[in-house]
Structure 1
Amino acid sequence: MTKHRIYTTSFRSVYPYYVTKAEKKDRNKEEVDEIIRWLTGYSQEQLEDQLDKQTDFETFFEEAPTLNPSRRMIKGVICGVRVEDIEEPVMQEIRHLDKLIDELATGKSMEKILRK
């Protein structure tokens, strides 16, 4: 079975879209980075290293220091599919991130986004 194209897409190529989506709704890059760090366990320096290396999405999530156990609380629909129903682990992590960025762009508080 061939992998979905997003797996081999560099995280760096999509990252600016996350930031732009947030900024269009009066949010900022720092909040996007906080969400990514919360989800993956990367430090800011490690995140920047991954961006500099142009790591693909699959590697980005596979190398994540500690995927946050609270990510299982992320529910809802993204791209017409329920996030919690996605069976492929890497795709589910990608969609978790997409859902969190959507929540940021819709004005949810960081406390709610980070499931505190």
Structure 2
Amino acid sequence: MKPRIFTTAFSKVYPLLVQKVEKKGRARDEVDAVICWLTGYDEHGMQAQIEKEVDIETFFAEAPQINPNSHKITGVVCGVRVEEIEDPLMQKIRWMDKLVDELAKGKALEKILRS
């Protein structure tokens, strides 16, 4: 059975990510920047996915290009080391979580967007 997050609409998850960082004084634009960096969507493409209410699995499957530096995202999200996650989709979801967490914790955008 698939984890429930795979079939959850991205349009349901996105506002939660934005809310998480706004509570810490960060901006929606910064959430968009990290998601676009990770997935290769531009703002218009990401918005189109939100409007189509695609699930998380489809959101990542249709992503133009996962950032080649995404393997540099390391650390723990929900008690799990992101670099040790075996399921490729779950790893991408956790990468997104990790980037948003770093934003919420006040890390500089330049540092979050690993170059």
- Give TM-score, length-normalised by structure 1: 0.98
Give the letter aligned to residue 30 of structure 2: E
What residue number does 1:64 align with? Answer: 63
Per-residue deviation, residues 32-78 of structure 1 (Å, max 9, x unmatched): 00111000000110000000001100010010001001110000000
RMSD of aligned residue pairs (Cα, Å): 0.5
What residue number does 1:80 align with? Answer: 79
Unaligned runs of 5+ in 1: none
Give the letter aligned to residue 42 of structure 2: S
Unaligned runs of 5+ in 2: none
Moved over 2 A (4+): none
- Is 2:44 the partner of 1:45? yes
Matches within 5 A, 1:75-114: 75-114=74-113
Q: Percentage identity across aligned positions?
A: 57
> What is the distance in 1 between the residues matched to 2:90 and 2:48?
22
SS in 1 for 2:54: coil
What residue number does 2:7 align with? Answer: 8
